[in-house]
Chain A
């Protein structure tokens, strides 16, 4: 009888992404416990982690952390494949797409606050687009748009300021491999 062994080599990058994703998932869970006056208005604390990953390890790593957060967050909150999960996924997708473009903004003039605000608008934009197409008639959404936009602006700014403070006091982990570093925007 032969025993087949499947080996899955784990790189330092994988471990780091797993660690950062765990951090983002933890923040997602903590945030889910906070009461919110309007469904969908949340601080988006996990975006702090996504933004830090983007600035320190590049967009690919940020996309991994974001995807794992949405998936595992849905699993842990019991909303996997429920509407809330898809809204979360749509928000993360649009937010990542916005960041994919926004990271090319010259870093001399545009810091983490810009990225955070743009990502926050991307997040709520993606969610509302899916809600409008899928769940609610668009007319009912129009009245709520200012609430969501204000929340995105406020929380995006606050998260960006937090990222700015954290980058000022921390240095990237030294175990970076070249392929992850490629295309990285250094904080």
Chain B
């Protein structure tokens, strides 16, 4: 009764690695806090990444639908033929961007530090 048992050490080790993994996940990298949406090179919307919202942005091919959830954002639907920006999925880190080139719409995540001064497409 007075000593730690094998299972106890197992639980402590598992919990310890869980905490370390959680710390790396939550504090590692620069999780973005702002979303910048551009159409034809012009910024059309700058939104916080804290609240769930959806945007519809018009381009030459049709409407691009952008979905923001707390902590992440994605292109939900886009008329581009190859769907590259939709397939990128959810973006979370500062500096990440999804470009729907045929429709000239882009979605970029910004955080405290900027990964690049500017991006030219």
Instruction: Give residues in A with beta carbon < 8 Å to B.
Output: 105-106, 108-111, 113-114, 117-118, 121, 137-140, 142-143, 145-146, 149-150, 153, 156-157, 160, 164-165, 167-168, 187
Contact = CB atoms under 8 A, between A and B. Distances in A.
Nearest to B32: A139
B102 to A, nearest CB: 31
A165 B4 CA distance: 11
B5 A108 contact: yes
Contact of A164 (B2, B11, B15, B50): B2
Contacts of A167: 1
7 smallest CB-CB distances across A and B, nearest first, come from A109-B7, A139-B71, A110-B7, A139-B70, A146-B23, A114-B11, A137-B70
Q: Is the interface of B mostly helix, strand, loop or mixed?
A: helix
B26 A146 contact: yes
Interface in B1-36: 1-2, 4-8, 10-12, 15-16, 18-19, 22-23, 26-27, 31, 33
A137 B51 contact: yes
B97 interface: no
Contacts of A113: 4, 8, 11-12
A167 B1 CA distance: 8
A140 B70 CA distance: 8
Contacts of B1: 111, 164, 167-168, 187
Contact of B18 (A142, A149, A168): A149
Contacts of B107: none
Contacts of B19: 146, 149-150, 153
Given A143-B27, A146-B27, A153-B19, 16 more contacts: A109-B8, A110-B8, A111-B5, A111-B7, A111-B8, A113-B4, A117-B12, A121-B15, A142-B71, A143-B31, A146-B19, A149-B18, A149-B23, A160-B8, A164-B1, A164-B2
B49 interface: yes
A168 B15 contact: no
Nearest to A132: B70
Contact of B50 (A109, A140, A146, A187): A140
A167 B2 CA distance: 8
Nearest to A110: B7
Contacts of A153: 12, 15-16, 19
Nearest to A145: B26
14 contacts: A108-B5, A109-B7, A113-B8, A137-B50, A139-B70, A142-B31, A143-B27, A143-B31, A146-B22, A149-B18, A153-B16, A164-B2, A165-B2, A168-B1
